[in-house]
Amino acid sequence: MARRCRSGPVRHRARPPRLPDHRPRETGFAVTTRSAAVGDWQAYLTNRSRRQRDGRFLIHGHELLTAAIAHGWPIERLVYRLGGLSSWARETLDSSGLPSVGLVPEVMADLAEPGYGVPDLVAVAHTRQYTLAGFVPDAAEPPVLVVVERPTGAAQLGAILRSAQAFGAAAVVVSGSGADLYDPQCVRASAGALFALPVFRVSGAGAVTAYRAERAAAGQAMALVGVAAAHPDPHANGAGPREIAAYDFNAATVLVVGDELGETWHRICDDVVHLPVVAGLPTPCALSVALYEIARRRQG
């Protein structure tokens, strides 16, 4: 059963200037100067405010473009390098049916990610805004929703998305401020998971508890479980978090991770579990371990 979610309208503020559409040809129309449109696209590489204002971002690379197209992500146009395209780039241009425009290599270089060469093909894509309220996870098995609290880095957030998809999570919820989903580092680190998973952004824990209550009213109770990535202090008073292997994950679960879960999460979670480690783990690693444990328990 396909997952259902409500997506907000794609925003079309400050639309970049239109360029002629055409199929790739060695001869024909070419952009040879740094036009206003190219300047806008270049800004999407580094400027979060511009991405948010225009509702657009860039997608680089074969794997990511293939995933975006396969999952029906809204792409405005493909931008390709004139002269000597790779076979995958030419095939993508010919088969996608998307509007396209060619840039000479000197101008195409402006759209390169830091540390990478001049790209063959780049997509100018629309951002999406999903609404958590009303989202119905796949009912084939008890779903797992991943909540990440204030992710600190774009690559970290992308790795979290990748782990969530790899272990079959129903969705990812980004709580509070933090890294931008559409930062090029997040897009690349997600390895296509950004396009495959519903990813929601909420202001904080209150939206998560409200969603949990909504699902309970619909007959789908969900356990709210925090994950502590560091081993608990052996000198601390009280029972503290229990080891993850001792927890029963057979019910629908909202799994909360973060570099450091705040007091609010510790208060509202049904349980907080810890991993059997002797030192702290980065959040993407901790999430992968927790999701593996859930998969192992359910398959066993």
Q: Which domains does the chain have, with CATH numbers?
A: 30-126 (3.30.1330.30), 144-299 (3.40.1280.10)
d(C-alpha 59, C-alpha 56), whole Å: 10
DSSP of 28-44 = S--B-S--HHHHHHHHH
* pLDDT of the residue at 20: 40
d(C-alpha 264, C-alpha 205), whole Å: 7
Structure tokens at 288: 């992968």
Nearest to 144 by CA among 165, 172, 170: 170
Q: Which amino acid would we find at residue 7?
A: S
How would you write the pLDDT of the chain (300 residues) with one tens digit per residue?
A: 445 555 554 444 444 444 444 444 433 345 667 788 999 999 999 999 999 999 999 999 999 999 999 999 999 999 999 988 899 999 999 999 999 999 999 999 999 998 899 999 999 999 999 999 999 998 678 999 999 999 999 999 999 999 999 999 999 999 999 999 999 999 999 999 999 999 999 999 999 999 999 999 999 999 999 998 665 544 444 455 688 988 999 999 999 999 888 899 999 999 999 998 877 789 999 999 999 999 998 887
CB 231 within 8 A of CB 242: no
* pLDDT of the residue at 6: 53
Q: How far is CA 245 from CA 156, 164, 249, 279, 296, in A?
A: 25, 19, 9, 18, 10
Q: How many CB atoms neighbour CB 264 within 10 A?
A: 14
Indicate the SS3 state at residue 110: helix
DSSP bridge partners of 171:
145
The phi-psi region of residue 152 (left if phi > 0; otherwise alpha if psi is between -120 and 50; otherwise beta) is alpha
* pLDDT of the residue at 13: 46
E strand segments, 182-232: 199-202, 223-228
CB 51 within 8 A of CB 101: no
Instruction: Produce one character per residue of 182-198: b if its CB has 16 or more CB atoms within 10 Å, e if not.
Output: bbbbbbbbbbbbbbbbb
* pLDDT of the residue at 4: 52
Indicate the SS3 state at residue 8: coil
Map tokens 């209550």 to a residue.
213
- In this structure, what DSSP letter does residue 269 have? -
* pLDDT of the residue at 242: 83
* pLDDT of the residue at 25: 40
Instruction: Tell me how many degrees the CA angle 193-196-201 measures, rounded to the nearest 5.
Output: 80
* pLDDT of the residue at 292: 96
d(C-alpha 81, C-alpha 91), whole Å: 14
* pLDDT of the residue at 30: 59
* pLDDT of the residue at 32: 66
* pLDDT of the residue at 7: 52
Contacts of 267 (CB under 8 A, 6+ apart): none
